[in-house]
């Protein structure tokens, strides 16, 4: 009958955001459960500019679990992906009163197909595992009808992914329990809380191979006394302070602490043995530029933060965007390759006063910044209702190939 037909194939599509930490997560106390040595705090970025879309389908006709990343088939056996899948199925089973044989609403023994893609170029080196796992878990949870606390599941994919399960300003509480049940993400304030806050992602050219987060933080935990001190003594205090700055929309406090925490994270990388370098000459030029800009204005107008990659993320307020974008354009004159230098939210044009140019734009480095992405805080994962947006067709195979 119609019911049986419907159950033969179920399909769900979700989107999920990228997040950028202002109090950084670096170091695990449990590698398998992905439990951090310190709490962290991030801003969820708007999905109009940066998002992952994932379609999850289950069918009695699928012969095996399959996965496509940006149109290319990928290994579905990845332990972290399997952990997420196992946890969602466990929650689904629990919800149905412990029976794995239950047929409604979806048979848990059906194989699944997953297709996922980003609306930003992977080559841009923007962190995509957080959005990716948040999206996977959101889609799987919907598929199996699981509701409630899901950050715990997303955390099993990638630590920072648990923070992408919520919009706005999000804290990941380290938790105390060895089983990780209290290592969860919590919203500190919604994305509407600070309407003037803006984010500029400076996507840099010439990305180099670097140490991945997982391996890097493991070496840091094993060798860096500074990281131990940071987790025990520095972060607890900073976290409380950062929450206050956010509550009060105090950009001076928020910006200063964001820069200091980024710098301390990179200091723990240098304190790691052998040392890890994520900041390069260009990062240091951007850091110096931000400090010259702030010094010229006599207050904190822009704040930088860097993760385990070369792109710079700048926090600022709406009234500063046009001027700072022009400063970046003058400092890193775009190579004339026809690419749009400013992308995302619109940016007004600004002409810079001579004294600002002289004080802030010192030695231009042509082509070093590929483009600027202008975005703002945004909401958490979304369910797409329109079936035409599914990445998989009715046959369970990718609709588009790249
Ligand atoms: C520097 O979440 O990518 O971006 O848990 O091993 O998957 P795993 O690491 P990941 O680490 C992110 C580190 C960071 C800081 C942060 O986002 O808090």
Residue 262, ligand 1, Cβ within 6 A: no
Three-point CA angle 148, 151, 153, nearest 5°? 95
CATH of the domain at 250: 3.30.70.890
Which pLDDT does position 80 carry in this prediction? Answer: 97
Do 21 and 170 lie in one domain? The reply is yes
Residue 218, ligand 1, Cβ within 6 A: no
Give me ligand 1 centre to Cα 275, in Å.
18
Ranges of H-type helices in 78-117: 79-95
Do 139 and 203 lie in one domain? The reply is no
Residue 162, ligand 1, Cβ within 6 A: no
Atom of ligand 1 nearest to the CA of 20: 17
Mean pLDDT of 120-140: 86
Give 210's pLDDT tier (boundaries 50, 70, 90). Answer: confident
350: its two tokens: 């600004």
Which pLDDT does position 7 carry in this prediction? Answer: 66
CATH of the domain at 42: 3.30.230.10
Is the pLDDT score of 103 beyond 50? no
Give 148's pLDDT tier (boundaries 50, 70, 90). Answer: confident
Domain annotation covers residue 395: no
Give me ligand 1 centre to Cα 112, in Å.
27
Do 279 and 137 lie in one domain? The reply is no
Do 220 and 303 lie in one domain? The reply is yes
- pLDDT for 55-73, tens place per residue? 999 999 999 999 999 999 9
- Among the listed ranges 23-32, 45-54, 95-104, 392-401, which one has the minimum average pLDDT value? 95-104
Q: Write out the DSSP string of 258-315.
A: HHHHHHHHHHHHHHSSS------HHHHHHHHHHHHHHHHHTS--EEEE--SSS-EEEE
Is the pLDDT score of 198 beyond 60? yes
Residue 308, ligand 1, Cβ within 6 A: yes
Residue 40, ligand 1, Cβ within 6 A: yes
Give me ligand 1 centre to Cα 66, in Å.
26
The larger pLDDT score, comparing residue 336 to residue 346, is at 346
- How many Å apart are CA 99 and CA 131, to the nearest integer? 32
Mean pLDDT of 356-385: 96
Domain ranges, residue 103: 7-192+380-387
Atom of ligand 1 nearest to the CA of 265: 1
- pLDDT for 316-328, tens place per residue? 999 999 999 999 9
Is the pLDDT score of 124 beyond 70? no
């Amino acid at each position: 009958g119609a019911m049986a037909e419907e159950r033969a194939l179920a399909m769900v599509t979700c989107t999920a955001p990228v997040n950028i930490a202002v109090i950084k997560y670096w170091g695990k106390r449990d590698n398998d459960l992905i439990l951090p040595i310190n709490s962290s705090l991030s801003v969820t970025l708007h999905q109009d500019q940066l998002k992952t879309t994932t379609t999850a389908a289950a069918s009695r006709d699928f012969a095996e679990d399959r996965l496509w990343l940006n149109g290319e088939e990928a290994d579905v056996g990845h332990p972290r992906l399997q952990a997420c899948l196992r946890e969602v199925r466990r929650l689904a089973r629990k919800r149905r009163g412990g029976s794995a044989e239950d047929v409604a609403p979806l048979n848990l023994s059906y194989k699944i197909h997953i297709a996922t893609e980003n609306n930003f170029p992977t080559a841009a080196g923007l962190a995509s595992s957080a959005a990716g796992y948040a999206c996977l878990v959101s889609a799987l949870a919907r598929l199996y009808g699981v509701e409630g606390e899901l950050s715990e599941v997303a955390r099993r994919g990638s630590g920072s992914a648990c923070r992408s399960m919520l919009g706005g300003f999000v804290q990941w509480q380290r938790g105390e329990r060895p089983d990780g049940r209290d290592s969860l993400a919590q919203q500190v304030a919604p994305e509407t809380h600070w309407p003037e806050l803006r984010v500029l992602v400076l996507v840099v050219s010439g990305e180099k191979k670097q140490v991945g987060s997982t391996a890097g933080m493991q070496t840091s935990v094993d060798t860096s006394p500074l990281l131990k001190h940071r987790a025990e003594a520095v972060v607890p205090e900073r976290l409380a302070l950062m929450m206050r700055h956010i509550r009060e929309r105090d950009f001076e406090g928020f910006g200063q602490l964001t820069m200091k925490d980024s710098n301390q994270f990179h200091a723990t990388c240098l304190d790691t043995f052998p040392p890890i370098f994520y900041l390069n000459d260009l990062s240091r030029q951007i850091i110096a530029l931000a400090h010259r800009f702030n010094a010229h204005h006599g207050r904190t107008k822009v704040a930088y933060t860097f993760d385990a990659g070369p792109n710079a993320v700048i926090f600022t307020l709406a009234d500063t965007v046009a001027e700072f974008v022009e400063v970046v354009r003058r400092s890193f004159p775009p190579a004339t390759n026809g690419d749009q230098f400013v992308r995302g939210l619109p940016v007004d044009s600004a002409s810079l006063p001579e004294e600002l140019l002289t004080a802030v734009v010192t030695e231009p480095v042509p082509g070093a910044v590929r483009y600027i992405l202008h975005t703002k805080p945004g909401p958490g994962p979304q369910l797409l209702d329109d079936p035409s947006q599914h990445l998989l067709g009715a046959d369970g195979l990718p609709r588009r190939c790249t």
